[in-house]
Structure 1
């Protein structure tokens, strides 16, 4: 059975109003019932489906039916919990930045980069990519850098609590600059904002600080 046919098995089980058995799947796909049962059992092993006992058709043993396991909406629960961690968007962003710094520290141990003073854009791309983000664009001018990234790991938060998504990314970069070089963290300020076009993207700015603001 090809990957496309395996997907059709999953789709048939998901679309069925009641648990569906291997014979029904085999008839729909015009494959042997043993093949259908093999892939149904794989769905069970993966945790994507469960097997249930069905009444027999006439005289005989009960049949085994399969239905898809619907995952609980944990994403909604997480968003609701996070929304209660700060009374204002500013407070939530500050807390999220602390979490972002801790996340970066956990996944990127010291000494990860070889350069004494790494390029800030290379540092940004390396760290965010390793944490599951996707860089979609970089614009550099006069020492400042604007990075556009897909907030895929934080997409639920980005839609409901954009200040939290922005805070996490800001914290990641602040920790990364500290880890990369004291000179980087002293010379660059990090700001993150949602994409103005409403896309699932964030805009990250690395702006050189003025000499007065470094003191």
Structure 2
């Protein structure tokens, strides 16, 4: 009996250790906004397919997290010599959806409404965010995409790893999961970067994002 109890305890400890050692998504390199790329004469413009493009998000607080999606409402990608060379897309902040709470539950509408409020993204004042490509580079065998992310009243340049694939006339750009620090875009609600006396009532500054964009000729 004791052996069985010890085995259960050992499994529990190992499970907790595995969870605590889970690798956190890397924060995107963040710096001041840069000049966007300029299309060349040979550049081909591909229109974003908005029905197949979106951004997945995940936010954290002590003891839990929430996740969902945000729609991309329009945009285009520039392709020069079969490589992405520029482009931009618009993010519809009013389209924020919560996925981890059933849609029919009151908590779903409460959370999505709170995220759209002035506490967080203030959708009434800032209905759209934008991402404008400033360059692509190679680092450690990965393609790194850089661009200016304008969110609320702030713009910062972020760099994160992506995979680009072309099949027939369709180009797919998919990022690895990365994080941004919301405090750098003045999203202040329960942020330790702005408030020191929150105790365990804070919400993490890090937001995980994963971008998926499809564009066609």
Aligning the two structures, in what range does the TM-score lie when normalised by the shorter sequence?
A: under 0.3
More helix by share: 1
Q: Which has the higher contact order (CA 8 A, sep 6+)?
A: 2
Q: Normalising by structure 1, what TM-score?
A: 0.21
Q: Normalising by structure 2, what TM-score?
A: 0.21
* Structure showing greater Rg: 1
More strand by share: 2
